[in-house]
Amino acid sequence: GLECDAVVHLRNGKYGLVEIKLGGDRLINEGAENLKKLAEKINTEKMNEPSFMMVLVGTGDYAYRRTDGVYVVPIGCLKD
């Protein structure tokens, strides 16, 4: 089925979808496509669309935003 690994809920009612992948372009692309498909299925008459979509990866030195709007974030960027 279609799912994501985590949903981050903020106090203001906004939320983001997170897919966790170890890394590699193929897996990052798969994760991003999965998140976009899932976001399309959300009934925006009942709830807002996600504020962000993120693929969390195991390696890398910096985070970036893809042209499709999905963020790719190495886990090391979440510390501090």
User: Domain residues for 19?
Assistant: 6-78
Q: Let me know: does 69 contact 53? Beta carbons within 8 Å.
A: yes
Work out the pLDDT band at 80, boundaries 50, 70, 90. Answer: confident
Say if pTM beats, i.e. exceeds, 0.75: yes
Q: Strand 71-74's sheet: what is its strand order?
A: 6-9, 15-21, 52-57, 71-74, 64-65
Instruction: Confirm whether 39 is domain-assigned.
Output: yes
Instruction: Confirm whether 45 is domain-assigned.
Output: yes
Instruction: Confirm whether 47 is domain-assigned.
Output: yes
Residue 1: predicted pLDDT: 75
Residue 79: predicted pLDDT: 85
Which tens digits make up the pLDDT trace of 17-54?
Answer: 999 999 899 999 999 999 999 999 999 999 999 999 99
Instruction: Confirm whether 1 is domain-assigned.
Output: no
Which residue carries 């299925």 as its tokens? 41
